[in-house]
Structure 1
Amino acid sequence: MNGNTKAQSHTALLWIVAGGFFMQALDTTIVNTALPSIAGSLHEAPLAMRPIVIAYTLTMAMLTPASGWLADSFGTRRVYFSSILIFVFGSICCASAHTLPQLVVARVLQGVGGSMLLPIGRLAVLRTIPGEAYVAALAFVSVAGQVGPILGPTLGGWLAQAVSWHWIFLINVPIGAIGLIAVHRFLPADAHSDAPPFDWLGYGLLSIAMVAFSLGVEPPVETHQALWCTSLFALSTITALAYIPYAKRRRHPLFELALFREPNFSIGLIGNLVCRIGSSAVPFLLPLLLQLELGYTPLHSGLMMLPAALAGTVSKRWVAPLIRRYGYDSFLLVNTLVVGGSIVAFALISQGTPLLIDIAILAAFGASNSMQFAAMNSVTLKGLSSRDASSGNSLFSMVQMLAMGLGVSIGGGLVELFSMQWGSAVLAFKVSFASVGVITLVSAFIFRRLESTPAAEPRLHAR
C-alpha cells in the first residue's frame, strides 16, 4: 500500500469510527425530548418511560468489558461491522414497538450494538493509526461525540413534533447503512489474536451486582417496593464482595484488584459515580418539566437544551489551562460546587422565569458539567500504569454508563414519590432537582480526598 492510499484508508477509518460514535452519542440524547410523545403513543405515564433509558445505558455498561476480548477473538473489523448491524436492527425494532415492554427489549438490543461502537472503534484507530498521529485521530473522533449531544435534544423534539417519535430511531438506519458499506469497503481486515480466556464468572458476578444495584436504587413508592429494593441491595453487596476473594485467586480476573492501589483511581471512580447521578438526571427531567408542566412543545424543549450543549463544547478549551494553574484537586472541588449548584438552580425554572435566567442556568450547567467530565476522566485514569490502563478504562466506562442509568432511576423515582406525597408535580420536579443537585454536591467532599497531583496537561479522552 503506497503512502497516498494508506492516508486515504486512515481518513476513511476515522470517518467510520466518528460516524459510529456519533450514532451512539446521538441516541443517548435524542430520546429524552421525545419521551412524552412516546408515552402518549404507548398509553403510558411519562415517568414510566424510565426503563427506555435505563435498559439502554445498563446494557452498554454490562457489555463494555467484553468488547476488547470480542475484538481479539473474532477480529476488529468483524465485530465492528456486527455492532453497527445489531444497532441498526435494534433501532428498527424500537420504531416498530407497540408496547412499553417491546420498546424496552428493543432498547436492550440497541444497547448491545451501541456498547461496542466506541471501544471497538477506538481500538481500530489504536491498531491502525501510527502512534504520533493517534492523539490527533482521537481528537477528530471525539468531535462526533460533541456534535451528537448538541443535535440530539433538538432533533428529537423536532422529529417527535413534526413527523413521529418513531423517526428518532429510524434516523439511525441510513447512517448505519452507510457505516456498514464503509466498514466493508475501507476497514482493514485483521487477523484474530490469541486472546486470553475471558473471565465469565467474574463478569457474571459484577454484572449481577451492577444490575441489582441499578434496579434497587430507585426510591420506593410503596411498602412492598422497599422490601424489593432491600433484597436487590443485599444481592448487589453479596456479589460485589464475592468478587474480591475470587479475583485474588484467579490468574487473569476481569479487573485486577491492583487497580485500586492507585488512590486517585479509586477516589475518581467513586466521585464520578456520585457526581454523574445528578448531571445524568438533568437531561431526563428537564424536558419532562418543560413539556408536561410548563406547556413547551417538544421542539421548544429541545431548543432549550442547546445553551447547555453549546456552552459545554466551548468550555472544553478552558479545562487544561485551569488544571495547570490550580491542580486537579482544587479545580474539581470548586467546579463540582458549580455543577451541583446549577442543578439545584433548575428548581427556579417556571413559567414566570425570564428567558435570560433560564439560558444562564443552562449555560452554567453545560459549561461546568463538560469541564467536570474532562477533569474527572483524566484524574481517574492518569495514574494507572500502561499495563492497567486498558482494564481501568473499561471499568471506568462501566461506571459512567451505570451512573447515567442511576441518574434517571433516582431522578424519575423522586418525582414520582414526591408527586404522590404532595399532589403537585411542579413542586415534585423542583424538589427532585434540588435533591439530585445535592447528590452531586456531595461528590465535592469525595474529590477533596484526591492526592495532590501536579498541574499538568490533562490526557485526552473521547468521553
Structure 2
Amino acid sequence: MNLHLPESLARLRPRRRGIATVHAELRDGIVPAGDRMAKTTDLGPQEAPSRNYRTVALIIACAMFMENLDATVLATALPTMARDFGVRAPEMSVALTSYLLALAIFIPASGTMADRFGAKPVFRTAIIIFVLGSIACGLSPNLPMMTAARFFQGMGGAMMMPVGRLVLLRSVAKRDMVSALSWLIMPALIGPILGPPVGGFIVTYLDWRWIFWLNLPIGILGVVLVGRFIADIRAEVTHPFDRPGFFLSAISLGCLLAGLEAGSRSGASALTLALVLIGLVAGAFYLRHARHAAHPILDITLMRLPTFRLSVIGGSLTRITQGAQPFLLPLMMQLGFGMSAAQSGTITVATAIGSFGMKSMAQRILRRFGFRSSLMVIGALSALSYAICAFFRPGWPVPAIFAVLVVSGFLMSFNFTAYNTIAYDEVDKSRMSAATSFYATFQQLMLSLGICIAATALHTAMRIGGRMTPDFGDFSAAFLTVTLISLSAIFVNARFDRNAGAEISGRPARQG
C-alpha cells in the first residue's frame, strides 16, 4: 500500500515564505493570524514599505475611537454630572484636565517603554488600563473620586495614542504618510461624531455613568485585534530609562497644569502661584538635565529640526482653541441656550462632521499649495471661524450655527493633519519614538492649557460681572481669548520653508 508519505507531509507543511517576505510583513505591522512564531522585529532608520498600513491604522483607530468617544460624550454630560455632584458646572473642568494632566505626565515615557518592552504589549496594556479607569469613573460617587479615576484612565490613554502612532509611522513610507495618518484619524473621528448625540441620549434618557460602560466592549475588541494583527515593533538599540528626567518632567508638567487649572477657579490664587512656581523650577532643572543626559526622556535637540520645531510651536498655539471648544460649546448650549443635553449634542456634532469631511481633501490641498501656504491661509480662517462662536445667541437659526461649526471643524481638521504630518518630515526613523513622545506631550499639554485658559477667561468674566452662572458675554470673552491665541500661529506658519514637506505632499520642489 503506497501512502505517498513524502507528498502527504509536503501538503501538511505550512506555506514557505522567504525571510525577506516575513520581514516585510512584520515591518508593515501585520502578522498573519496563523503564525505563532516570535513576532518581534527591530526597525532601523530604513524606509519601511507601507502596503498594509491601512489595516494597521484601522486597528490603532479602535483605541483612538474609544478615547475620543469618551472625551466628547463626557463634555456633553458635564452640566448633568455637576448637578449630581453638587458643584457648579464650570468646576467640572477638573474632570477634563485631570485626564489630560495624566497624559502630559506619562506620555514622555511612552517612546522608551515601547522601545524597551515592545509596542504591542505596551499598547495592549494601555487599553486595559484605560478600560479599568473607565469602570472606576462609572462608579465614582463625587467629583474628587471622578478626578482620581480620570487620572488613572489617562495613564492608559497616555500610552495608547503615541505608541499607536509610532507603530504606524514605522510602517509607512514618506510618500504615503499623509494618507496613512488620514486613515488613522478618520475612524477615530467617528468617536466625536457619535459622542455628542450619544452623550445627549444617555444623559437625557439613561444615566451619565453609561458613558464609561461603553468603553468596555470597545476596549475588549481592541485588545483582541492588537493581539492578533499588530507586530511587536522595537528599536534596534534600547537605552536606559531616564528616571531623573521622568520625575523632573512629571513634576514640571504636572504642577504647571494643576496650577493653571487651580487658577481657573476662584479662591485659589496662593495655590496657583505655588504650583506654577514649582513647575517652572522643575522645568529649569529638567532643561539642565537634558543638556547633559545621553538619552533624555524628552529630547529637546529635536527642536533643532526646523519643520519639527515649527510644527510643535504652531500646532501648540492652534490646539489652545481645539482644547477649549469641547468645554465651552456644550456649556453655552445648555446653560445659555437652555438646551437639553440631547439637543446640545445634535448641534456640537457639527464640528466632528466637518473634521471627517476634510480628511479626503487634505492630500490634494497640500499637493496643490504646499504646507506653508496652506497652513497660513487655512490656519487663519479656522481661528476666525471659531471666533464666530463668540457671537452665537438664541436669535440665531439653528442651521446657521450648525453650518458655522461644520466649517470650523473642516478647517481645523486640516491644520492638525498638516501639523501632524510635517512634524516628522526631517525626523530619522531611529529617532521616531523620541519624536512621537515629544510631540504628543506638547499636543496634550496644549489641549489641557486650552481648557484651563477657557475656564479662566470664563470665571474672570463672571467675577467682573458679579455673576454666579455665566451669561453670553462671559462665553464670548472665553471664545475670543482662545481664538486670538490660535490666530497668532499664522506668524509661525510663515516661517516654514516654501518647499517644506514636498516629498510628503507629492508637490514638486520649487527653486528661488
The reply to whether TM is greater than 0.5 is yes
Please give the residue correspondences for 1:221-232 in structure 2 after superposition, counting only pairs within 5 Å: 225-232=268-275
Tell me, yes or no, if structure 1 residue 154 matches structure 2 residue 197: yes
Shift of 1:344: 1.4
Are the structure 2 counterparts of residues 116 and 326 from structure 1 closer, same or farther at C-alpha, using a change threshold of 3 Å? same
Alpha-carbon distance in structure 1 between the residues aligned to 2:165 and 2:477:
40
For 1:432, the equivalent position in structure 2 comes to 478
Of the three residues 318, 336, 346, the one matched with 1:303 is: 346
Distance 1:105 1:350 in 2: 36
> Residues 457 and 316 (structure 1 numbering): CA distance in 2 closer, same or farther, change over 3 Å?
farther
Aligned pairs (5 A) from 1:286-435: 286-422=329-465, 423=467, 425-435=471-481
175-184 vs 279-288, which moves further: 175-184
Match of 1:29 among 72, 76, 83: 72
Distance, in Å, in 1 between the alignment partners of 2:208 and 2:147 is: 15
1:169-180 equivalences under 5 Å are 169-180=212-223
Give the 3-state SS of the residue equivalent to 1:165 in structure 2: coil
Residue 86 of structure 1 is matched in structure 2 by 129
1:456 — aligned with what? 502
1:102 positional shift:
0.3
Residues 184, 450 of structure 1: alpha-carbon distance in 2 compared, 3 angstrom cutoff:
closer
Aligned equivalent of 1:61, options 94, 104, 108: 104
How far did 1:303 drift? 0.9
Contact conserved, 1:219 with 1:417, CA < 8 A, in 2?
no
CA displacement at 1:431 relative to structure 2: 1.4
2:279 to 217, 236, 243: 236
Relative to structure 1, the CA distance from residue 335 to residue 184 in structure 2 (aligned partners, 3 Å threshold; closer, same or farther) is: closer
Distance in 1 between residues matched to 2:56 and 2:379, nearest whole Å: 37
Task: Give the superposition deviation at 1:327.
Answer: 3.0
Aligned positions of 1:42-61 closer than 5 A: 42-61=85-104
Counterpart of 1:237 in 2: which secondary structure? helix
Measured at CA, do residues 393 and 78 of structure 1 come closer, stay the same or move farther in structure 2, by a change above 3 Å? Answer: closer
Give the Cα separation in 2 of the matches to 1:450 and 1:13: 31
Q: Is the 8 A contact 1:84 1:179 kept in 2?
A: yes
1:164 partner letter: D
Cα distance change on mapping 1:335 and 1:123 into 2, 3 Å:
closer
The CA deviation at 1:131 is 6.7
1:282 aligns with 2:282: no
TM score, norm. by length of structure 2 = 0.81
Question: Is the contact made by 1:339 and 1:365 (CA closer than 8 Å) also made in structure 2?
Answer: yes
d(CA) in 2 for partners of 1:179, 1:321: 32
Distance 1:197 1:386 in 2: 19
Residue type of the alignment partner of 1:209: S
C-alpha distance in 1 between matches for 2:172 and 2:418? 26
- Conserved 8 A contact 2:97-2:261: no
> Which deviates the most, 346-355 or 445-454?
445-454
- Change over 3 Å in CA distance of 1:13–1:277 after alignment to 2: closer
Q: How many residues align?
A: 459
The 10-residue stretch of structure 1 (14-23 or 367-376) with the greater mean CA deviation from structure 2? 14-23
1:74–1:192 CA contact under 8 A, matched in 2? no
What is aligned with 1:98?
141
Structure 1 residues 284 and 380: CA distance shift in structure 2, 3 A: same
- Structure with max Cα Rg: 2
Q: Is the 8 A contact 1:325 1:455 kept in 2?
A: no
Instruction: Check conservation: 1:375, 1:458, Cα contact below 8 A.
Output: no
Contact 1:205–1:243 (Cα < 8 Å) also in 2:
yes
CA contact (8 A) 1:209 1:235 kept: yes
Aligned residue for 1:317, secondary structure, equals: coil
Q: Structure 1 CA distance, aligned partners of 2:459 and 2:368?
A: 44
Contact 1:326 1:455 in 2 (8 A): no
Query: Which one of the candidate residues 433, 436, 441 is aligned to 2:487?
Result: 441
**Cα distance in 1, alignment partners of residues 266 and 68 from structure 2:** 37
Which range is displaced more, 244-253 or 425-434? 244-253
Contact kept? 1:382, 1:459, Cα under 8 Å: no
Native 8 Å contact 1:343 1:365 kept in 2: yes
TM (norm. structure 1) is 0.89
Provide the rounded CA distance (Å) in 1 between the counterparts of 2:151 and 2:340.
28
Structure 1 alignment gaps of length 5 or more: none
Distance in 2 separating the partners of 1:416 and 1:76: 42
Q: Report how far residue 194 of structure 1 moved.
A: 6.6
Judge conservation of contact 2:109–2:437 (CA < 8 Å) in 1: no
Summarize the Cα distance change of 1:133–1:186 in structure 2 as closer, same or farther, 3 Å threshold.
Answer: farther
Give the secondary-structure state (helix, strand or coil) at the position aligned to 1:235. Answer: helix
CA deviations 1:392-422 (Å, max 9, x no partner) are 2211111111111111111122112211211
Q: Can you list the C-alpha shifts for 1:85-125, whole angstroms capped at 9, x where unaligned? A: 21111111100000000001111111111222233334555
- Tell me, in whole angstroms, the C-alpha distance in 1 between the residues paired with 2:188 and 2:266: 42
Shift in CA distance, 414/150, structure 1 to aligned 2, threshold 3 Å: same
Match of 2:207 in 1: 164
Q: C-alpha separation between the residues in 1 aligned to 2:420 and 2:299?
A: 19
Shift of 1:251: 1.6
- Counterpart contact for 2:76–2:199, Cα < 8 Å: yes
Counterpart position of 1:269: 312
Given the superposition, is the C-alpha separation of residues 325 and 13 from structure 1 closer, same or farther in structure 2, using an over 3 Å criterion? closer
Residues 256-300 of structure 1 deviation map (CA, whole Å, 9 limit, x = unaligned):
332121233223212221221112101110000001110111111
SS at match of 2:240: coil
